[in-house]
Amino acid sequence: MHNGFEGLAKGQVQEVGWHDVAGWLGHGGSMLVTKRTLPKGYLESIVENICTYSIHALLAVGGFEAYKGVLQLVEAHRHYEELHRHVLGFDTALNATMEKCDHIKQSASGTKRRVFIMETMGGYCGYLATVTSIAVGADAAYIFEDPFNIHDLKANVEHMMEKMKMDMQRGLVLRNEKCHDHYTTEFLYNLYSSESKAVFDCRTNVLGHLQQHHIPTPSDRNYGTKLGVKAMLWVLEKLHEVYRKRRVFANAPHSACVISLKKAVAFSPITELKKDTDLEHCMQREQWWLSLRPMLKMLAHYCISMTA
């Protein structure tokens, strides 16, 4: 289906063979084209096309909108018998942020003392900003999950000034795009610039879609291939269980799952994940990676203690 759930509703369905997908593995972005449109407003058309094209299972590949879209289809089961299908989805990761930060830091070599304030994508989820900050040695990373106030910002600026007075030539601050309604990237730029007292100057950079459409790394290619194969084997196995007289009737919780790679590949019923999901902010309610935040401050030379 081209253009996601909207494409399914509009009949933008194409059968593909091996030759049609040749070379896709080495391209960034989506060759089928993606849209954030959710199925809720197209249910009648989606049901009609599921019948028209004899679709017995759906594999939804994407981010949080894919999860919400599949959840809407599952919740519509009781109204549409045709939606009693096997559905499965998984998320992919982007790896361009670190490269951009490295390029900016390298380009600043030899210049006067300068602080770069960079805005990353990620919605309300600060995973990308946090992990990138640790990898590139950023001085601070502002995220939604770790609330901060003006006193925290002031302390960060003072800490940056002390480091710049010594031997540092450049600093790097990351801000996740929805970390705060009022402390915007422009606000941070004005604050750092105003309080620097001419010790350093500031520059801003909004990465936006520069984080997307990069050539997939070997790790991402292997990860995507492994999940793709496992997903299709799972779909075929479940279809064998419920396919009778050329019909599929799958309404058990395990008929709509999210595939993930933990210690091993796991299939979790999407309805069971709902209680652990913050649908308003499009992320998990509990983030395991928040335990990495103290490491960021330690590497930025803050005086903190690391506890197990």
The yes-or-no verdict on residue 93 having pLDDT over 70 is no
pLDDT computed for residue 289 by the predictor: 86
Distance CA 213, CA 199 (A): 37
Q: Where in the chain is the domain with CATH 3.40.50.460?
A: 96-211+288-299
Q: What is the pLDDT of residues 32-85, one digit of tens each?
A: 888 888 998 899 999 999 889 988 888 888 778 888 888 888 888 767 766 766
Q: Where in the chain is the domain with CATH 3.40.50.450?
A: 4-93+217-261
Domain at 4-93+217-261: CATH architecture? 3-Layer(aba) Sandwich (3.40)
pLDDT computed for residue 64 by the predictor: 81
Domain covering 96-211+288-299 assigned CATH 2.60.120.380 in the classification:
no
> Rounded to two decimals, what is the model's pTM?
0.71
Please state, as a whole number, how many other Cβ atoms lie within 10 Å of the Cβ of residue 286.
Answer: 9
pLDDT computed for residue 165 by the predictor: 83
Token digits for 194?
């105003």
Q: What is the pLDDT of residues 162-216, one digit of tens each?
A: 888 877 778 899 999 999 999 999 999 999 999 888 888 899 988 766 556 566 7
